[in-house]
Every structure is written in structure tokens, then in C-alpha cells.
């Protein structure tokens, strides 16, 4: 056995497998192919799967209801996924692969602001429209990209509703802690700006490292500032750490709000009773009272939620909904454009103005959906209910939250 020959063979085989473009997928006639890099492994696995569920749910609905009408023909829909391992550059690479190798027609966005940004840059360069529903950082939309659209409300709005709710109830001081990533910082800044603009005082506004394993220092400082409202812009792990630390150091506030956490069942699961009365900012909840003004999908949030739960055995959260809404934007734009030409679809997206189960889908000149309000949810007795804005609420908010000692 001459290892050298084996090595040479192996090397050649390698390069061959590589360069041979992926076997032309039986791009079935009359199929619109979407491509999506999602985080199926890595730190954002959970959210990546939620995103994929939302896309798949829409796909099976559309395919079982005749497909999408383009011009005179009806097309079926297919979606190709790759795992970006929750990494920004991987997402970008995969987007290139989807476009150059798999020849997808359009891109459905990944999960997360960092990944969405890098994929948007690729979409722009290749002039392929991309719609995303899971990256809310405004920097994605301040680069002058014309081919990227986001159906979700911008990051800075995430905690505004909670601040407003508190303000209406007489709260005067706010403390904000943020993780050190672009999205969380934008959320924190939005909340701080809103509070100051409406006559409240921000008594604490600092950030902590992304991989913090202990946030007691942050909580100690917040305790010293004695705020009415305690807000956190971070991720599930931080939300858990902070909430536990707040209890440990007996820091009671009139309201607690987290940008990420309360909406996931994991939050209640991990905190039990301590999760009660916590507010969360959400892009959507299944209690919102929108009524779709365009046929072709579920009429309202409740119908969507019931059907979704039948398939996936869990209540849909806003990540599912915004992903389905992402696809809807494409569906309606393609129908309106009457063609699969990227530029025509792009223009149709820019002009879109439709109400769906998720809310209004309309984009400003930067591609951002500033027209849809955020909702505020609250955990009451272990269940998540929508409490704000009043027009969309299903229950009244509990304010102030009872102090720690008396729970």
C-alpha cells in the first residue's frame, strides 16, 4: 500500500467533489425556489429552528392551497436550507452558495441581526431580493441596501412599550442593562431615548459582556439606583441570570421588562413562580386582533396559532409568526409583480401595503417595517398574555409587581 499514491488520489477526488457543481437539483418546472441559511446548530439553535418552522408552515399551506399565482401560471414553492452554525460569515457564504450554486430565486433571511446583515450584503451585490423577519438591528437598513426588507419592527422599539406602560402608571425612574451585542445595545438605546423624551429619568444604563457568567455586579449597582422599572436588553441566558440575581439581592421594582426571555416557555420553565408579572416586548402574540385584508393565508392570529399548534405541538411564538410573515411578504409581492424577475419583485416589495395575521406589512424607504407596533406581553400566573397596547390587549397589566418578600 503506497500511501503516497493513496494521498494523491484522495486529494484529486476531493478537489473534484468540490468543483463539480452540486448536481443540478431537479429544479422542477414551475417551482419557486427560496434559499435560507438558518442556525440549526450553535448558540442560536433554538431560534433557528423556530424560524425554520415558520417558513415550513407557510410552505405547506401554500403548496396545499394551489401554490402562488405568477402571471397566468401557478407555481409550487420549495425552500432549501443550510446550517450557518449561528456564525455571521458562514451565513454569508451559504447565501452565496444558495445563489450561485443552487440557483434560488429569492432569499429568506437567517435568524439574528449579525447574520442578517452579512446576508443582506450578499443579496445586495447579487441583486437578489431578501426578506427577513428575525434581525431587527437598524444598521442592517442604514447601509442603503435596496434588496433587503425586514417585516419586523426595529430593535429600538422592543422595550418602548414597557416604558410607556410604566409611565402611564406613574413610574418615574428606569434602569437598563444590556448585553454587549449590536441588537441589545440598540434595544437599550431605544428604551433610554424613549424614557428621557417622555420625562422619565434613566438612573442606570450599562452593558455587560456577552458571555457573562455572573451579573451580580450589575444588579448591585441597579439596587443602589433604586429604579421603578428594571429593563434588560440581552438574551435568554442573561435574562435568567439577572432575574435570579434580582431576587437574590432582594431588588424589588414596580415592573421588570426583558427584551428576550418572557416569550419563550423556557423562561417560565426555568424560573417557576418567580417569572410572574414579568413583561416582555414582542413582535407579535397570538392574541393580537389584526384581521388580514388579503386572502391566501390565515385570517387572524388565533386561527394561525391553532393550526400551527396542531402541526408543531407548541404555541407559536413571535419568531414563528414573523418567519411566516416573511414568506407572506414574498408571496404577495410576487403575485403583484406577476413575475419572478428579481427587480420586479423587489419593486413590488417596496410598494407592499397589506394587513396580515401578523400585522401590517409595509416598508419604509430603507426597507424597515416601521409601521407595525410592538406588543407587550406579561406573564400572569405562568401564562403569557398580551397587555399592551390597549387596543390589542387581551388582559389588563399587573402593576406594580409585588415585592420579592411577599410572593
Partner 1 sequence: MISLAGITGSRPALIGVVVAMIALLGIPAFHNGYIEIVFRNILMYAALSYGWNVLGGYTGYVSFGQVAFFGIGTYCSAVLSSHGITNIGAGIALAILVNAVVAIVLGIPILRLRGHYFGIATLGVALAIQDLAANIDALGGTSGLALKQFDESQFFWYYYAMWAVAAACLLVTWLVARSKLGYAFVAIRENEDAAVVLGVSPTRYKVIAWAIAGAMAGAAGAVFAPANGFIDPSIAFEVDNNVFPIVMTLLGGIGTVAGPFVGALILAGVNEILQRFFVKIHTLFFGAMIVLVVMFLPRGIVALIGMRGGWRGFRRSLGAYRV
Partner 2 sequence: MEFAQDVINGILAGGILAVAALGFSLVWGIMNIINLAHGAFIMLGAYCAFELFTRFHIDPFISVPIAFALLFVLGYLIQRFVINYVVRAPVLTTFLLTFGLSLLIVNIALLIWTGDTRGVSPSYVGANFSIGPLTVSWAKLWTLIVALAITGFMALWLGRSRMGRAIRATAIDVGAAQLAGVRVAHVYAVTFGLGTGLAGAAGALLSLSYGINPTMGDPFLIKSFVVCVLGGLGSVQGALIGGLVYGIVEGLAPLIHVTLWGQDLSGSGLQNVIALAVLLFVLIVRPTGIMGRATA
The residues binding partner 1 (CB under 8 A) are: 1-4, 7-8, 11, 14-15, 17-19, 21-22, 40-41, 81-83, 85, 87-89, 92-93, 96-97, 99-101, 114, 117-118, 121-122, 125-126, 137, 139, 143, 180-182, 185, 209
User: Considering the complex, what minimum distance in angstroms separates the CB of residue 188 from partner 1?
Assistant: 11
User: Considering the complex, what minimum distance in angstroms separates the CB of residue 246 from partner 2?
Assistant: 8
Specify the residue, 152 or 218, whose C-beta has the smaller distance to partner 2: 218
Sign of CA dihedral 53, 55, 57, 60: negative
User: Which runs of consecutive H residues, i.e. helices, occur in 112-207?
Assistant: 113-126, 160-168, 182-197
Rounded (10°) angle between helices 88-96 and 113-126: 30
> Do strands 229-233 and 173-179 pair parallel, antiparallel, or not at all (unpaired)?
parallel
Residue 63 CB neighbours (<10 A): 15
Instruction: Candidates 38, 77, 241, 352: give the one binding partner 2 (CB under 8 A).
Output: 241
User: Considering the complex, what minimum distance in angstroms separates the CB of residue 43 from partner 1?
Assistant: 11
Burial track 125-153 (b if 16+ CB lie within 10 A, e otherwise): ebebbbbbbbbbbbebbeeebbbbbbbbb
Q: How many whole angstroms separate alpha carbon 368 and alpha carbon 340?
A: 22
Binder of residue 220, out of partner 2, partner 1, none (CB less than 5 to 8 A by kind): partner 2
Q: How many whole angstroms separate alpha carbon 276 and alpha carbon 379?
A: 5
Q: How many whole angstroms separate alpha carbon 279 and alpha carbon 71?
A: 46
Specify the residue, 74 or 180, whose C-beta has the smaller distance to partner 1: 180
User: Considering the complex, what minimum distance in angstroms separates the CB of residue 296 from partner 2?
Assistant: 32
Specify the residue, 115 or 276, whose C-beta has the smaller distance to partner 1: 115
Helix (H, G, I), strand (E, B) or coil at 361: strand
Helix (H, G, I), strand (E, B) or coil at 399: coil
Binder of residue 43, out of partner 2, partner 1, none (CB less than 5 to 8 A by kind): partner 2
Instruction: Candidates 2, 29, 64, 213: give the one binding partner 2 (CB under 8 A).
Output: 213
User: Considering the complex, what minimum distance in angstroms separates the CB of residue 382 from partner 1?
Assistant: 32
User: Considering the complex, what minimum distance in angstroms separates the CB of residue 78 from partner 1?
Assistant: 15
Q: Per rule CB under 8 A, is residue 311 in the interface with partner 2?
A: no
Instruction: Candidates 70, 182, 212, 370: give the one binding partner 2 (CB under 8 A).
Output: 212
Amino acid at each position: 500500500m503506497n500511501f503516497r499514491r493513496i494521498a494523491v488520489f484522495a486529494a484529486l477526488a476531493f478537489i473534484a467533489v468540490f468543483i463539480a457543481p452540486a448536481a443540478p437539483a431537479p429544479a422542477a418546472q414551475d417551482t419557486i425556489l427560496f434559499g435560507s441559511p438558518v442556525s440549526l446548530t450553535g448558540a442560536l439553535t433554538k431560534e433557528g429552528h423556530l424560524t425554520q418552522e415558520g417558513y415550513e408552515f407557510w410552505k405547506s399551506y401554500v403548496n396545499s392551497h394551489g401554490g402562488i399565482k405568477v402571471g397566468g401560471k401557478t407555481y409550487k414553492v420549495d425552500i432549501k436550507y443550510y446550517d450557518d452554525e449561528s456564525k455571521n460569515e458562514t451565513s454569508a457564504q451559504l447565501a452565496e452558495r444558495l445563489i450561485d450554486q443552487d440557483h434560488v430565486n429569492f432569499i429568506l433571511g437567517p435568524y439574528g441581526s449579525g447574520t442578517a446583515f452579512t446576508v443582506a450584503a450578499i443579496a445586495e451585490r447579487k441583486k437578489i431580493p431578501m426578506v427577513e423577519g428575525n434581525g431587527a438591528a437598524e444598521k442592517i437598513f442604514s447601509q442603503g441596501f435596496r434588496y433587503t426588507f425586514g417585516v419586523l419592527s426595529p430593535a429600538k422599539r422592543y422595550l418602548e412599550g414597557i416604558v410607556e406602560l410604566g409611565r402611564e402608571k406613574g413610574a418615574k425612574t428606569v434602569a437598563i442593562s444590556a448585553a454587549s451585542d449590536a441588537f441589545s445595545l440598540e434595544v437599550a438605546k431605544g428604551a433610554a431615548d424613549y424614557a428621557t423624551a417622555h420625562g422619565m429619568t434613566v438612573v442606570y444604563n450599562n452593558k455587560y459582556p456577552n458571555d457573562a457568567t455572573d451579573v451580580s455586579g450589575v444588579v448591585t449597582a441597579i439596587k443602589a439606583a433604586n429604579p421603578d422599572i428594571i429593563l434588560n436588553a440581552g438574551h435568554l441566558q442573561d435574562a435568567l441570570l439577572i432575574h435570579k440575581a434580582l431576587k437574590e439581592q432582594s431588588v424589588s421594582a414596580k415592573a421588570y421588562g426583558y427584551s428576550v426571555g418572557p416569550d419563550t416557555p423556557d423562561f417560565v420553565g426555568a424560573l417557576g413562580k418567580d417569572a410572574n408579572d414579568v413583561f416582555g416586548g414582542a413582535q407579535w402574540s397570538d392574541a393580537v386582533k389584526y384581521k388580514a385584508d388579503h386572502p391566501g393565508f390565515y385570517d387572524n392570529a388565533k386561527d394561525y396559532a391553532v393550526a400551527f399548534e396542531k402541526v408543531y405541538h407548541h404555541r407559536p411564538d413571535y419568531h414563528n409568526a414573523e418567519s411566516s410573515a416573511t414568506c407572506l411578504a414574498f408571496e404577495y409581492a410576487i403575485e403583484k409583480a406577476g413575475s419572478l424577475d428579481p427587480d420586479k419583485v423587489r419593486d413590488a416589495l417596496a410598494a407592499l401595503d397589506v394587513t396580515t395575521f401578523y400585522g401590517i406589512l409595509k416598508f419604509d424607504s430603507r426597507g424597515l417595517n416601521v409601521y407595525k407596533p410592538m406588543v407587550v406581553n406579561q406573564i400572569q400566573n405562568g401564562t403569557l398574555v398580551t397587555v399592551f397596547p390597549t387596543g390589542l390587549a387581551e388582559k389588563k397589566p399587573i402593576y406594580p409587581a409585588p415585592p420579592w418578600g411577599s410572593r
